[in-house]
Structure 1
Amino acid sequence: MTAMVIMGHVANAFGIHGWIRIYPYTENTDGLLDYTSWWLGKDNNHWHEMQLITGRTNGNQLDVKLKGCENREQALQLKGMQIAVPRNALPGLPENGEEGYYWSDLIGTEVMNLNNEKLGTIVGLFETGANDVLRVQNGKSDTQELLIPFIEQTFIKKVDLKCGRIIVDWSPDY
């Protein structure tokens, strides 16, 4: 099977007619709606293909209807599943010699500061208009997040996907 790129996860059922609420990991909230075939699975395992019927944005999430998901019970069975698309279905990255990556490549990456302190793990990103922002979960509390502007050379010092680490100029108490 071709390499898959995690593009989001199923947050919950939405309504009683089989709709599900999606938390996308894409730069644009509706970016996942560009793909009519989604692969659902857990822990990067046992992927099964599902077809997108329709969807719409709802703030920073998506509400979608998938073929074969007809009621709330079926939708609840999908809760927590990861959503992926084959990497070869994504648009190409720049070929200018720079390391390119998708937002979804950053999810799960460890964030360290210049003092070699672990700040947490990236759980998402969002766009503000001025710049993108990393959502970093510190592991101590599910509700406490660090929000770090994704501004290269200012706050983001190094993105090393091979080591699964991003180095930032940021303090844990900002």
Structure 2
Amino acid sequence: MLTGLEVTELPADAIEVGRIADAWGIKGWFKVLPYSANPEALFAARQWYLLPTEKGTKPFSGTALMAVKESKVHSDSVVACASGIDDRNGAEALKGSRIFISRATFPKAAADEFYWVDLIGLQVVNREGQSLGVVRELMSTGPQTVLVIEAMQDDKPVERMIPFVSAYVDDVSLTDKTIRVDWQLDY
């Protein structure tokens, strides 16, 4: 086990938020590839859970807990440092590690804002009450986010894409696990 990492269990509410890309500098900092364009949840968490890379040398096995000292935006990426990772060799050993954080540590979303992870799996229904399918993933197109919805139609999988904007989205209910939209089956 690397210095600075502690063996632990992955929390039941753990969400994968990024991956360690490489070492950054000589003082133990490392570059992070976040899975979100706005990695506030990554910055808010002081403890990251790591799973080792799937390929190459594994510097640890199982789940490791890392105490993050600092994480910040640098240029077009995110860099971070952690307790016990004090040199470039330690940071390089983390390359490829998958980063998870507990959902409980995510900052509270503002009104009419949602974490993508909370939208995946929700049922999408139009104003007429017709089911359009289930949110499989979300896609950022730059100016807007798009819901990628999967449904079965005539025993064949159908994919629909609906812009996640107020012009088409009437309501999101995380409690009811439903998104109500102004969209038709034949769009």
Name the TM-score, length of structure 1 as normaliser.
Answer: 0.55
Q: Deviations over 1:151-172 (max 9, x none)?
A: 02x1000000100000000011
- How large is the Cα RMSD of the aligned pairs? 3.8
Paired residues of 1:7 and 1:32 also in contact (CA < 8 A): no
Structure 2 vs 1, CA of residues 171 and 5 (structure 1 numbering), >3 Å: closer, same or farther?
A: farther
Q: How does 1:125-140 map to 2 (within 5 A)?
A: 125-140=138-153
Count of equivalent residues: 122
SS state at 2:108 partner: coil
1:167 and 1:158 map into 2 onto residues whose CA distance is 5
Task: Tell me the equivalent position of 2:181.
Answer: 168
2:63 and 2:160 map into 1 onto residues whose CA distance is 34
Q: Deviations over 1:115-169 (max 9, x none)?
A: 1000000011011112110000013444x310000002x1000000100000000
| Cα displacement (A) at 1:173 | 1.2
2:49 aligned partner, one-letter code? S
| Cα displacement (A) at 1:4 | 1.1
Paired residues of 2:41 and 2:105 also in contact (CA < 8 A): no
Q: Is 1:105 matched up with 2:118?
A: yes
% identical equivalent positions: 27
Structure 2 vs 1, CA of residues 131 and 105 (structure 1 numbering), >3 Å: closer, same or farther?
A: same
Moved over 2 A (4+): 5-8, 26-36, 48-54, 98-101, 139-142
Task: Tell me the equivalent position of 2:97.
Answer: 66
Q: Deviations over 1:28-64 (max 9, x none)?
A: 398898784247xxxxxxxx7357933xxxxxxxxxx
Equivalent residue in structure 1 for 2:49, among 37, 52, 57: 37
Structure 2, gaps ≥5 residues long: 1-9, 18-34, 52-61, 66-92
Task: Tell me the equivalent position of 1:148.
Answer: 162
